[in-house]
């Protein structure tokens, strides 16, 4: 099954806010229940969000 889920560009990392917006849109489209494909996409997005989120070490 092909789907049109976005993937980040290697040379242009997205901000945590941008990834968070995509996570919210995914949940909205899914109506609160994720399919297996949507769960994989959610996991990928959460990892991307964690990388993009400022950590205490980076913020200092």
Whether residue 31 has pLDDT greater than 80 = yes
User: Cβ distance 34 to 42 under 8 Å?
Assistant: yes
State yes or no: pLDDT of 7 exceeds 90: no
The structure's pTM equals 0.71
Q: How far is Cα 54 from Cα 56, in angstroms, rounded to an integer?
A: 7
More confident residue, 57 or 42: 42
What contacts 34, CB < 8 A, 6 or more positions away?
26, 27, 42
Of residues 42 and 58, the one with the higher pLDDT is 42
pLDDT at 41: 97
Q: Which residues pair with 9 in a beta bridge?
A: 12
**In angstroms, rounded to a whole number, what is the distance separating the alpha carbons of residues 55 and 60?**
9
HSE, CB side, 13 Å, CA atoms: give it for residue 35: 7
């Amino acid at each position: 099954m092909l789907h049109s889920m976005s993937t980040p560009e290697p040379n242009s990392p997205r901000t945590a806010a941008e990834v968070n917006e995509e996570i919210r849109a995914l949940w909205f489209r899914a109506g609160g229940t994720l399919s297996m494909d949507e769960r994989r996409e959610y996991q990928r997005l959460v990892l991307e969000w964690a990388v993009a989120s400022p950590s205490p070490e980076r913020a200092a």
